[in-house]
Amino acid sequence: MPGDDGLVLTAEEQSMLAGEQGPATAMCMRLIVGVARANGAGRLVPIESAHADGCLYHGVAGLEFTERLVSLGARVRVRTTLNVGSLDLLHPGLVRADPEVAENGRRLMDAHVALGCEAIWSCAPYQSGHRPKQGSHVAWAESNAIAFVNSVLGARTDRYGDFIDIAAGVAGRVPYSGLHLQRNRAAALVLDFSAVPAALLDDDVAWPAIGALLGELAGTRVAALTGLPADLNDGGVTEDRLKALGATAASAGGVALFHVVGVTPEAPTLDAVLGPGATTVPVTAHDLRRARERLSTAATTSLDAVSLGTPHFSLSEFAALAHELRAGPSFSPSVDVFVSTSRAVLAEAEARGYADAVRDAGGRILTDTCTYVTPVLRDGIRTVMTNSGKWAWYAPANLGIDTVLGSLAECVASARAGRVVRDERLWG
Amino acid sequence: MTLSGRSLHPGQADGVVLALDEPLSFWGGVDARGVIVDAHHPQRGATVAGQVLAMQAGRGSSSSTAVLAELIRSGHAPAALLLAECDAILVIGALVAAEIYDTSLPIVQLTHDDLARLHTGSQAAVLAHTAPRPATVIAKIR
């Protein structure tokens, strides 16, 4: 049994809890302290920023909670960015939500803006200008953002979700527990990729497959990945590859922190992150093929749509897509192509001509939300190809469709051909 | 038998035990009436509403917070939650519902061994004080 409650609050925190800084701060502190007591935390820790995902509508309770905060006069006291909402405010015609959900979704988004949050509406805040520095304490919600900020940026967040994220933004504090503590950031598991051919690791599609395998083997444990070369032909272990890896691992297993030895900031060497009693698992190309197949539920090569950008497409992904589209045919009229991104990245992609390249080929660009959290795909769509392991993991259950995982190049080739086209030679 | 545990959220409840064989994610795992709809869960079709729900741990998405709060709001939540592993996601759902709907869903952490002594269908009374004061679960043995 965990020990007795030993939570110690500073004078400032006691003042906030007692209501001396307003009823909204007091309410948020009650939530933070309640979680701290449940977690057995000894104290709270100030945070430098927050990323809130409670702005996606899940029901009346979340709306009433947020509007209560607004009515009590709450304001966030640290920089707080917002995750995707239920609507595309820039392209309202693309979302097909029912009127009540659309209305409540809009109210929920408005309420978060009224609290002083930044309306970036992105699940990849780290590619929309919000990049906490290594070692800083933050309160980030949304599973892929949590994995990225912990692993790739080396800031410290525990797994936060609805309600506690915005409460942390208002109170500026979180329990000093979980992944805020150094001892909980050590690897309990080592996955060794040195036997996987470099040609496979050079292909983008390997990275969501690595994430799926990591999620399956690690669950919620911290893992260290060795044998992933930092000098691959296509730019090495790029940020977008780590994004794809982390998003899939967070979906398939609940991974909130991983270390890529020689690449991510807390893992210059394996010894720097190795926890006591960690076990090592060798990984083969066959393991990755099996992971890829778990993300591909479609039994045929017929194709109705392609979905890119879960997490939100980055500027470099737009550049790669525009490169693939250059001087080639348009997409087949039978295939709907969607790219989900943030409005900030879209503005950059417009300036560089990437967005027009996508539209000229017949694709559509969605902002502020995502094709897997709100109805965008038309009725009758059965099979969707994606380069996102997260999208492929959730879509069969959430959207009732079949998925095919492929690289960006395979997604483009398939959208043009009107059927699934994949290069099987890499997989051995 | 009387079991003592750690109070994760205060409250008092009586009900029939539903002991889950596997962890359950509320998000995607239960419908709006509290029926288990997770296709992979061995107790699919069972109803958590009004039950003293015993499970080793929560599972899955952080959005389970919002789903639990919504079940409390609509009257389809379990009467109490008994866990072997602390799950902050579920605690937050109960905390938020307490703030905005003035409810008190007790959540109690028991040892794995004590949790395993609770069987589906038996009656249980749960009393969880505000932490750090303890919680007790009084259950009839089948």
Total residues found in chain A within this entry: 428
Amino acid at A233: N
pLDDT, position A233: 58
pLDDT, position B40: 79
Smallest CA–CA distance, residue A174 to chain B, in Å, is 12
Do the Cβ atoms of B66 and B73 come closer than 8 Å? Answer: no
Assigned token pair, B53? 């729900």
pLDDT, position B132: 79
| Helix or strand (DSSP H, E) at B90 | helix B88-101
Only one residue has tokens 């307003």, namely A22
3-state DSSP assignment of residue B111: coil
| Helix or strand (DSSP H, E) at B124 | strand B123-128
In this complex, do A68 and B99 lie within 8 Å of one another by their Cβ atoms? yes
pLDDT, position A185: 98
Do the Cβ atoms of A48 and A137 come closer than 8 Å? Answer: yes
CA distances to A368, A385, B106 from A295, rounded to whole Å, are 25, 10, 38
A interface with B, Cβ–Cβ below 8 Å: 1-2, 4-5, 27, 30-31, 34-35, 37-40, 53-54, 56, 58-62, 64-65, 68, 141, 143, 159-164, 254, 397-398
pLDDT tens profile A86-135: 999 999 999 998 999 999 999 999 999 999 999 999 999 999 999 999 99
Contacts of A329 (CB under 8 A, 6+ apart): A416
Closest Cβ opposite residue A61 in set B60, B62, B70: B70
Residue B99 pLDDT exceeds 70: yes
Contacts of B41 in chain A (CB under 8 A): none
Closest Cβ opposite residue A159 in set B39, B62, B132: B62
In this complex, do B88 and A39 lie within 8 Å of one another by their Cβ atoms? yes
Q: In what order do the strands lie in the sheet with A138-140?
A: A79-82, A49-52, A138-140
Nearest Cα to Cα of residue B109 among B84, B88, B134, B90: B84
Assigned token pair, A25? 């701060």
Contacts of A397 in chain B (CB under 8 A): 28, 39
Q: Examine the predicted complex and report whether its ipTM is higher than 0.90.
A: yes
In this complex, do A38 and B89 lie within 8 Å of one another by their Cβ atoms? no
pLDDT, position A55: 96
CB atoms under 10 Å from CB of A334, counted, come to: 12
Contacts of A396 (CB under 8 A, 6+ apart): A297, A402, A403
pLDDT, position A356: 98
CA angle A38, B29, A366 (to 5 degrees): 100
Residues of B that are catalytic: 61
- Candidates B40, B67, B95, B130, partner chain A, best to mutate (most A CBs within 10 A): B95
pLDDT, position A327: 83
Q: What is the mean pLDDT of residues B105-131?
A: 95
d(CA A33, CA A114): 24
List per-block mean pLDDT (blocks of 10 residues) for chain A, which spans 428 residues: 72 98 98 94 98 94 97 98 97 92 97 98 96 98 96 96 96 98 98 94 94 95 93 75 96 93 95 97 96 92 97 97 95 98 98 98 98 92 97 89 96 98 85
Q: Taking phi first (over 0 means left), then psi (-120 to 50 degrees means alpha), and beta for anything else, what does residue B51 get?
A: beta
Assigned token pair, A180? 């805020």
Give the chain A residue nearest B107 (alpha carbons): A38
Contacts of B39 in chain A (CB under 8 A): 397
Do the Cβ atoms of A142 and A121 come closer than 8 Å? Answer: no
pLDDT, position A231: 67
pLDDT, position A26: 98
d(CA B9, CA A38): 8
Chains A and B form CB pairs within 8 A to the count of 105
pLDDT, position A2: 42
Q: What is the mean pLDDT of residues B8-28?
A: 93
d(CA B131, CA B140): 25
d(CA A243, CA A308): 13
Only one residue has tokens 């693309």, namely A94
pLDDT, position A1: 42
**Band of residue B131 on the pLDDT scale cut at 50, 70, 90:** confident
Torsion, Cα of A404, A407, A410, A416 (10° steps)? 80
Closest Cβ opposite residue A35 in set B69, B73, B91: B91
pLDDT tens profile B81-90: 999 998 888 9
d(CA A128, CA A330): 29
Backbone angles phi, psi at A377, to 5 degrees: -65, 140
Contacts of B95 in chain A (CB under 8 A): 30-31, 34-35, 163
d(CA A401, CA A307): 12
Burial A171-181 (b: 16+ CB within 10 A, else e): bbbbbbbbbbe
In a 10 Å sphere around its CB, with 0-12 CB exposed, 13-18 middle and 19+ buried, how is residue B128 labelled? buried
d(CA B93, CA A58): 13
Asked if the bond preceding A99 is cis, omega within 30° of 0, the reply is no
Contacts of A168 in chain B (CB under 8 A): none
